[in-house]
Structure 1
Amino acid sequence: MNAPAGLWSLVVGDDQVADEVDVRIIEAALEQFTLVGIKRASTDDIARRAGVNRTTLYRRMGSKDAIVRAAVLYEVRRMLTRIEAEIGEITDVAERIAEGCATTVTLLRENALLKHLLAVDRDEILPQVTIDAGAALRAGTFFVADQIRRARTELGLPDPPDVDGLAAILVRLVHSLVLIPDGPPDLETREQLREFARLHILPMITT
């Protein structure tokens, strides 16, 4: 399901479009989900925490399912913003790609909200990060494609024939590494992730 335009602006970072009340509702929802889980969080609780009435909440966000989707997308934006902050100033392309892989997987694996929900609300959150994760994957693909273009420009290389397709492959790889950490390849530490990126991801981006 595609994200509504207003929610998509929250993901890609268009703060001129993002509405203050929508942001307050989504952040309240995230706080409530972290506190009691998705299943036990009511729309009344979210509205109360956000300082709005139920009518405003439903008019702006819709059902609880829509609020959950919006919260997941907003958390994606926050994670992408943090990743960019951690790797954006690295000038060496190979190092930025290696550190980007290590940082992305580590931050997602250690995300407090995701860990909490997978522990206490697995049945509620798994659809949002698997079969209903299309919008989040598109946001990640948009971000990674931009990183690929930047890297190739700095190396004096043209865009690959299908930069979005390559970005989508890398995003789905990260998605798998985060949700199924126990399967191969064995990438438990940041250094293992960096080395994997140097051996496998770097050539995909730079050749």
Structure 2
Amino acid sequence: MTPIRHNGSGSGSDNDHVLDAVRDCVLAVGVRRTTLADVARRAGVSRMTLYRRWPDLRSLVGDLMTREWIDVATRAMAEPAPGTATRTRIVDGLVAGVGAFRAHPLFRKIVDVDPELLLPYVLDRRGASQEALLALLADALREGHADGSVRPGHTERQARVLLLTVQSFALSLRTMTDEDDPELDSAALLGELRTLLERTLTP
């Protein structure tokens, strides 16, 4: 859920070094209290170096969120394995991804301190991480169509519905959770998500 953009020059390792510095700053004080000067100092580079790659702090934080969210998604989705249907990999990966996303320290910090950063990508437009997640889902759905474990359908439409579903759980689960009631705690609600996804994708 980040702006669709790519930074300019700089190798991947250089960019990761800067993004690591942004992450440390945001985890320490939040986005609004982070400055490019803070990032430059922590990364050991000049502010001009940052300006040559990113026009402002928001775009820098956007690239950080894209990196982190895609890492969560790719780690959650298991590699294909003999005897495991693609539908199972998709459902397991999406449920695990929601849990991992909600537990991610950057997500928790943004929700607690700077939740307005997420609103444009919930209410107004898709971001780079959403586009990347749609591509990952579409690839998995095509595999599921091919092996017969996923209900035939329009691949891109199915991917968007899946992302809408898991995105709502990732962003809003705590508003519907009662951790004092085992029938309504987060584990129980994620169990319902699993059922929903299974029934949606089963041929």
The alignment's TM-score, normalised by the length of structure 1, stands at 0.78
Q: Unmatched 5+ residue regions in structure 2?
A: 178-182
- Structure 1 letter corresponding to 2:198: L
Kindly provide the CA deviation profile for residues 147-186 of structure 1, in whole angstroms up to 9, marking residues without a partner as x. 21222323377x94420111011111111111111249x8
The equivalent residue for 1:196 is 193
Distance 2:39 2:65 in 1: 15
Q: Is the contact made by 1:106 and 1:190 (CA closer than 8 Å) also made in structure 2?
A: no
User: Paired residues, what number?
Assistant: 192
Q: CA RMSD in A?
A: 2.9
Counterpart code for 1:180: S
Q: Where in structure 2 are the equivalents of 1:63-102 lying within 5 Å? A: 63-84=56-77, 87-88=78-79, 91-93=83-85, 94-102=87-95
In structure 2, do the counterparts of structure 1 residues 196 and 152 end up closer, same or farther at CA, with 3 Å as the change threshold?
A: same
Q: Quote how far apart the aligned CAs of 1:143 are.
A: 1.2
1:175 to 162, 167, 171: 167
1:58-81 Cα distance to aligned partner (Å, 9 max, x none)? 101121121121111111222122
Unaligned runs of 5+ in 1: 8-16
Mark the CA change 1:20 to 1:128 in structure 2 (over 3 Å): closer, same or farther.
farther
Give the 5 Å matches for 1:1-207.
1-4=3-6, 19-84=12-77, 87-88=78-79, 91-93=83-85, 94-123=87-116, 125-127=117-119, 129-130=121-122, 131=124, 133-155=126-148, 160-181=152-173, 182-183=175-176, 188-190=185-187, 192-198=189-195, 200-207=196-203
What is the deviation of 1:6?
6.2
Contact 2:91 2:194 in 1 (8 A): yes
Does the Cα contact within 8 Å between 1:97 and 1:202 map onto a contact in 2? no
Name the amino acid aligned to 1:109: R
- The whole-number CA distance in structure 1 between the counterparts of 2:35 and 2:7 is 25
